[in-house]
Amino acid sequence: MWSKRTEDRISVELCNKSIMESIYIHFPFCVKKCGYCSFYSLENQQDLMEEYSFALKREIKALSQQFSRNTIKTIYLGGGTPSLISAKLLERILLCLKENFRLSNPEITIEVNPGTVDYSKIKHFFEVGINRVSIGVQSFLDSELSLLGRIHSRNEAIRTVTDCAAAGFSNINIDLIFALPNQTKDQLSQSLCVVKDLPVDHISTYNLHLDPGTPMYEALNHNCFTLPDEEIDAEFYEYIIDTLPKLGLQHYEISNFARPGKECRHNLAYWDYYDFLGIGAGATSMIAGARYTNTEDINDYLSVSPLHQKEEEILDEYTQIAEAIFMGLRKRKGIFLNDLSSRFGVNIMQHYEKVISELVNKKLVITDADVLCLSDNGLLLANEVFEAFLP
Amino acid sequence: MDYNNLKIRNFSIIAHIDHGKSTLADRFLEVTNTIPQRSMKKQVLDMMDLEQERGITIKLQAARILFTAKDGEQYVLNLIDTPGHVDFSYEVSRSLAACEGALLVVDAAQGIEAQTLANTYLAMEHDLTLIPVINKIDLPNADPNKVIGELVDILGIDPEEAVLCSAKEGTGITDILQAIVDRIAPPKNLVAEPTKALIFDSLYDPYKGVIIYCRIFEGSISPKDIIKMMRTGYEYEVIEVGVFTPYMTPSSSLKAGEVGYIVAGIRDVRHARVGDTITCKNNPANEALQGYREAKSMVFCGFYPIVGEDYGLLKDAIEKLQLNDAALHFEPETSKALGFGFRCGFLGLLHLEIVQERLEREFNLTIIATAPSVVYKVIKTNGDIVLVDNPINLPEPTEIEHIEEPYVKSTIILPNDYVGSVMELAQQRRGHLTNMEYLTATRVVLHYDLPLNEIITDFYDRLKSISRGYASFDYEVGDYKEADLVKLDVMLNNEVVDALSTIIHESSAYYKGRELTKKLKEIIPRQMFEIPIQAAVGNKIIARETVKAIRKNVLAKCYGGDISRKRKLLEKQKEGKKRMKNIGTVEVPQEAFFAILQINK
């Protein structure tokens, strides 16, 4: 619950050490839920979009009371399927942000799903100020797309990418999923091959993970298919790590690749463990060592004043430090221990001396002066490393 | 209520497990308003949480029931509860010794089962009056006449004596209470004699100290009396005496024939041993009552803390449990793999599991229990005889002349349809059929001599499953017999893990070695390096499996909104490892040490 106490705590803490330059806005609407998705989203409720965007603006205004002095450098519109929003409503939301916060040449990303946008809509997005798109391609094979329950085809995916470039976007991400049921290395290679000829600046790639309750998880349990085992999963991941840099996409985070200078600034703020505001149903904010999460239920979100329904999770110091370390270690270049030490006022090197030396012995991490980063081997076993820093 | 020995009846209920003993006891308390209906919790006498969960009675409990009989007089009926599981037959005999009669409860659909027989024989040994009670007559497949027929044929019971009831529906309950008054003899009036009271149980209470459960046979005991334990010689001044309503309720005295409790500021439960006779110092009895044989540990295993530092906590916890569990024995032992722990002795596997669960639940300890073992008699080449209850202590093969293992005399009752498959099971477990008789045209009693080692694992479960639940089983301790036994060692990462060694019959060594390594492969999670698992007899490797090194363990996407969720996953991963024991560099889950029990034939 957002209380007077919370506000007092935030105002004191913010003056000290918090860096807050990012805003995330969530859109829990989809045309159709994908078979592997366990996130909260509503199918075919886009008619609520207008009412929802009013609620978003209400929350933006409420939060700006506390954070109007912060300079916002990244904005991310995620979902769900935010590309279902009309350019007009989107423009009003961005305008509202501009009126209530200090924006400084922000990176503004929207997630776009092929099959929900045409060229003119993309063009509109560009015109209202969006400067980065993240396209939920997932695969360039029709057989894989239908297995995943996506609404688009290979050609629609390619079309969306080229439309974005034609509309003026020069910062384009695509999401790809690998280790799909019965996927062969050849199939994976085909999807990566398509990338070669497309104007793609950034790739986020994940192995398929099925949570209980999703249709694909149920199908898996009924032996409708099998997932690739750990060896194949690892092999595919290594293949991707090996292939994408050859296409000019550098591996800069466990799951992310980018052309130099096209790293996602918004996501880097998460991995650098900076604060951020989350706006919209189910969205989480990180503010001065605490997390505040909005109700996921859209009707509750629409009806109640947003500040008074946030769930609060206050993190103790060493939990924050552990999170900062494992988020930071996701970046290939790792973390600067001295920076973290001064941020938290704790000698991190000393506190984790034993942990770090054990990890070095196991060849999972590399240290160089005050830099700590995952080794190639540690990249595949990152959870074993992350776990070691938990209090 | 004034003392009148003629108005007292002391009785137990004996029954096969699941024949409805606890429900019947609940009905007695309810019908007589001993416990008002609204505060009735199902199976009031099973007070331990574990007992209620597992639906079994572990500790003895007692209750005093006031019943107004047909003659209009009020009677005191003391019910002394008995456990229904074969592991606890020792405790059954304890409660029977405190009574003049017993209800023999038989399920109207199931008929006589192995424990019905065993318990009946026990009751007959104690010269108790038996009242046959046919329970569950409400069941659609109940056949009381057939069951009465069995009782007549097998136990020679007069069919007129059987009382029909349904504890579940509450019918026939007062008939049973009336039968108790009519047929069970009242205790003799021996109040004037020197005091003799039999301790049939005790309980350690942190405030009152040891609470003695006893039956007064002669004389009386009141507060301020100086009592003397006839066997151990300890003397104490009585602080409080009382009866079980079933909650402990103080009274002015306990007199001959009564059942109740005594509090005398006793801090050490060993000063008031179950089976001892209490007398009064100022007018002592000459001779003690016949006590009990000491509870003998049949099954042993090691208990070790997951973290070495918890050794002290584990010791305290076992000591505390022992206060209320005379059958639990323990002594310190050391394992190369597991460090410092305790070798514990139990009545049987269920007893072992219950103790383990209580340690984890009531004392919040995470412990490793090693594979259960029986006590082997090793005759060495130099003529020495050593008793070995831990495979680690088995002498070198060259020093062994031969090994003997304990057998049990078992009784299996089952429908004749299953005789073939049950015999096959018994054969696999190296059983010798000593006798076979027909109870009725379709029900058979098999008498087998079986190695105890073969039944402490999953024999009972297998028996139940191949007979679709129809076979029942009971046993008593038999003799030692020579056998070809070997020690099966397990190596993890090329190191012998002593805590995983077991003594098994030579004929099953290959099979068990293979199955055990397979099972361990399933149980031991993939780690940073490859782990070979080998089974060996002597220097000979007889089976090998490999746990492959972990290849990939990494959370893909992790952005702002997921951090807490991902952290919790990592915490769970870490927590899981804390429940594992580090043996060398290998992290081994608790259940690995019990894996040998999960091997099915």
pLDDT in tens, A318-352: 999 999 999 999 999 999 999 999 999 999 999 99
Contact B239, B263 (CB under 8 A): yes
Best A384, A385, A390 residue to mutate vs chain B (most B CBs within 10 Å): A384
Note whether A384 contacts B550, CB cutoff 8 Å.
Answer: yes
Residues of chain A contacting B559 with CB distance shorter than 8 Å: 267, 270
Residues of chain B contacting A382 with CB distance shorter than 8 Å: 553-555
Third-level CATH fold of A317-391: Arc Repressor Mutant, subunit A (1.10.10)
User: Is the Cα torsion angle B563, B564, B566, B570 positive or negative in sign?
Assistant: positive
- Cis upstream peptide for B250 (omega within 30°): no
Residues sharing a CB contact under 8 Å with residue A354, sequence separation 6 or more, in sequence order = none
Q: What is the DSSP string of B427-460?
A: HHTT-EEEEEEESSSSEEEEEEEEEHHHHTTTHH
3-class DSSP string for chain A: CCCHHHHHHHHHHHHHCCCEEEEEEEECEECCCCCCCCCCCEECCHHHHHHHHHHHHHHHHHHHHHHCCCEEEEEEEEECCHHHCCHHHHHHHHHHHHHHCEEEEEEEEEEECCCCCCHHHHHHHHHCCCCEEEEEEECCCHHHHHHHCCCCCHHHHHHHHHHHHHHCCCCEEEEEEECCCCCCHHHHHHHHHHHHCCCCCEEEEEECCCCCCCHHHHHHHCCCCCCCCHHHHHHHHHHHHHHHHHHCCEEEECCEEECCCCCCHHHHHHHCCCEEEEECCCCEEEECCEEEECCCCHHHHHHCCHHHHCEEEECCHHHHHHHHHHHHCCECCCEEHHHHHHHHCCCHHHHCHHHHHHHHHCCCEEEECCEEEECHHHHHCHHHHHHHCCC
Residues sharing a CB contact under 8 Å with residue A111, sequence separation 6 or more, in sequence order = A77, A78, A79, A80, A81, A82, A83, A133, A134, A135, A136
Task: Assign B349 to helix, strand or coil.
Answer: helix
User: Out of A205, A267, A323, whose CB is closest to B559?
Assistant: A267
Task: Assign B394 to helix, strand or coil.
Answer: coil
Domain ranges in chain A are 4-271, 317-391
User: Out of B550, B563, B570, whose CB is closest to A387?
Assistant: B570
How do strand A202-207 and strand B540-547 relate by DSSP bridges?
unpaired
Q: How far is CA B346 from CA A297, B295, B326, B394, in A?
A: 55, 9, 10, 20
User: Out of B554, B561, B564, whose CB is closest to A283?
Assistant: B561
pLDDT in tens, A129-181: 999 999 999 999 999 999 998 999 999 999 999 999 999 999 999 999 999 99
Note whether B552 contacts A234, CB cutoff 8 Å.
Answer: yes
| CA R_g for chain B | 27
A267 touches chain B (CB under 8 A): yes
pLDDT at residue A162, rounded to an integer: 97
pLDDT at residue A379, rounded to an integer: 95
Name the residue type at position B246.
P
Chain A, chain B: beta-carbon pairs less than 8 Å apart: 88
pLDDT at residue B423, rounded to an integer: 95
β partners of residue A374 = A365
Counting every residue, how long is chain A? Answer: 391
Task: Assign B114 to helix, strand or coil.
Answer: helix
Nearest CA in chain B to A179: B556
Residue A150 in tokens? 């996506």
What's B257's DSSP letter? T
Residues of chain B with pLDDT under 50: 58, 601
pLDDT in tens, B116-175: 887 888 888 888 999 999 999 999 999 999 999 988 888 888 988 999 999 989 899 999
A283 touches chain B (CB under 8 A): yes
Å between B551 CA and nearest CA of chain A: 6
Residues of chain B contacting A386 with CB distance shorter than 8 Å: 555, 570
Note whether B570 contacts A382, CB cutoff 8 Å.
Answer: no
C-alpha span between A74 and B56 (Å, rounded)? 64
Structure confidence at residue A2 as a pLDDT band (50, 70, 90): low
Which of A387, A106, A148 is closest to A266 using CA atoms? A106
Predicted complex ipTM exceeds 0.95: no
Nearest-5° Cα angle at B209, B204 to B210: 55
Which of B282, B261, B285, B259 is closest to B272 using CA atoms? B261
Contact B150, B112 (CB under 8 A): yes
Note whether A267 contacts B561, CB cutoff 8 Å.
Answer: no
Residue A269 in tokens? 């703020």
β partners of residue B496 = B491
Å between A231 CA and nearest CA of chain B: 6
Nearest CA in chain A to B526: A230
Task: Assign B199 to helix, strand or coil.
Answer: strand
Which of B228, B277, B231 is closest to B98 using CA atoms? B277
Å between A196 CA and nearest CA of chain B: 23
Note whether B563 contacts A237, CB cutoff 8 Å.
Answer: no
Task: Assign B294 to helix, strand or coil.
Answer: coil
Note whether B558 contacts A381, CB cutoff 8 Å.
Answer: no
pLDDT in tens, A19-58: 899 999 999 999 888 888 888 888 877 789 999 999 999 9
Which of B458, B473, B493 is closest to B414 using CA atoms? B473
Nearest CA in chain A to B575: A387
Using CB atoms and an 8 Å cut-off, which of residues 119-138 of chain A contact chain B?
A: none
CATH code, residues A4-271:
3.80.30.20
Å between A317 CA and nearest CA of chain B: 14
pLDDT at residue B85, rounded to an integer: 62
Q: Scan for tokens 């017993």, then name that residue.
A: B102
Note whether A384 contacts B528, CB cutoff 8 Å.
Answer: yes
Note whether A327 contacts B556, CB cutoff 8 Å.
Answer: no
Q: Which spans in B324-375 are helix H?
A: 349-363
Contact A101, A67 (CB under 8 A): yes
Q: Scan for tokens 């292939």, then name that residue.
A: A243
pTM of the model: 0.73
